[in-house]
């Protein structure tokens, strides 16, 4: 570490809890850019793969063997596990330590960070990237390139935690976006959590006999339905009100499309579809 208010990634030991797609890709991107990479991983096969590929120098199921060494702890697990780790961290990390999470719902996580002892310098984080295949086998060092990486500060934020997050984000090729947790959660309900539900509903709606006629449109639109429910349930539960609002607004828009088709109002239907096309162009 450097001075009291500074941070040096190159001199820091980074411990990542969870080496799935996100944690594994993060480790690959940070390799050789920090003093040492450590990991807490429950699954033996994942630990063996990470060590065999030399993604990390140490990996263990026991957090007591890993976390006391860390200058920075990164929580790369599903949201319910992040909340449990925030509760347990004081058991294992006794020295001053920076904590950053990568969860997809932020308000409940930031609130939990506010309860950490003062030796923990915490900062909420969420990289806006990923794939539906979540294992370490699907990790890639370039996953974060050019991706927004949202940072949501808790009540107590230190210069060192900010410096650590910004240096890590720069090292993996992402770019920082500062947001309050409430704004993040409402926006992500529309841009991430609702799309997963729509992909799931679309897949459930398609008749089995249509499988032979599936083309790129259905494939791209339904892709998120392949995401394991174990990853999404905690997100939907912890961002429930925002997700319900997004569903309601979507249902109203779908009702408008249905009504235009049912009433054979081609002018209204064309206007709705053109507005959607223009809005997407502005988004992109």
Angle, to 10 degrees, between the axis of helix 181-188 and the axis of helix 240-262?
30
- Token pair 């650590």 in the structure block, residue: 164
184-283 fold: 6-phosphogluconate dehydrogenase C-terminal fold (1.10.3660)
Q: List, by residue range, all CATH 1.10.3660.10 domains of the chain.
A: 184-283
Q: Where does the pLDDT of residue 1 fall: very low under 50, low under 70, confident under 90, or very high at 90 and above?
A: very low
Cα separation, 173 vs 198, whole angstroms: 30
Nearest to 169 by CA among 28, 26, 36: 26
State yes or no: pLDDT of 3 exceeds 70: no
The pLDDT tens digits for 197-241 are: 999 999 999 998 888 899 999 999 999 999 989 889 999 999 999
Question: For 9-179, CATH number?
Answer: 3.40.50.720
Give per-residue pLDDT as tens, 84-125: 999 999 999 889 999 999 999 999 999 999 999 999 999 999
> Cα separation of 256 and 34, whole Å?
53
The tens digit of pLDDT for each residue in 152-182 reads: 999 999 999 999 999 999 999 999 999 999 9
Main-chain dihedrals φ then ψ at residue 181, nearest 5 degrees: -60, -40
SS (H, E, C) 150-161: EEECCCCCCHHH
Q: What confidence tier does 4 reach under pLDDT thresholds 50, 70, 90?
A: very low
Q: CATH 3.40.50.720 region(s) of the chain?
A: 9-179
Cβ neighbors of 10 (< 8 A, separation 6 or more) are 33, 34, 35
pLDDT band at 284 (very low <50, low <70, confident <90, very high): confident
User: Are the beta carbons of 36 and 14 closer than 8 angstroms?
Assistant: yes
Q: Is the pLDDT of residue 151 over 80?
A: yes
| Mean pLDDT for the stretch of residues 129-150 | 92
């Amino acid at each position: 570490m450097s001075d009291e208010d500074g941070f040096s990634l190159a001199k820091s030991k980074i411990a990542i809890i969870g080496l799935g797609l996100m944690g594994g890709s993060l480790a690959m991107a940070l390799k050789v850019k920090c003093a040492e990479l450590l990991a807490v991983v429950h699954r033996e096969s994942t630990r063996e793969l990470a060590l065999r590929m030399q993604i990390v120098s140490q990996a263990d199921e026991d957090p007591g063997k890993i976390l006391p060494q860390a200058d920075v702890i990164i929580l790369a697990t599903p949201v319910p596990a992040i909340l449990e780790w925030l509760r347990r961290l004081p058991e294992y990390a006794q020295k001053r330590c920076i904590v950053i999470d990568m969860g997809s719902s932020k308000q409940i996580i930031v609130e939990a960070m506010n309860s950490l002892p003062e030796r923990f310098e915490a900062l909420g984080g969420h990289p806006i990237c990923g794939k539906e295949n979540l294992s370490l086998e699907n990790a890639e060092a370039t996953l974060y390139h050019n991706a927004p990486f949202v940072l949501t500060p808790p009540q107590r934020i230190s210069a060192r935690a900010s410096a650590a997050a910004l240096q890590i984000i720069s090292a993996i090729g992402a770019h920082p976006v500062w947001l309050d947790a409430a704004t993040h959660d409402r926006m992500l309900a529309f841009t991430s959590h609702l799309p997963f539900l729509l992909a799931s509903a679309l897949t459930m709606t398609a008749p089995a006999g249509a499988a032979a006629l599936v083309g790129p449109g259905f494939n791209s639109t339904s892709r998120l339905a392949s995401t394991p429910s174990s990853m999404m349930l905690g997100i939907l539960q912890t961002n429930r009100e925002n997700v319900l609002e997004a569903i309601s607004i979507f249902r109203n828009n779908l009702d408008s499309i249905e009504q235009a088709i049912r009433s054979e109002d081609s002018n209204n239907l064309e206007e709705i579809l053109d507005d959607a096309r223009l809005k997407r162009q502005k988004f992109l």
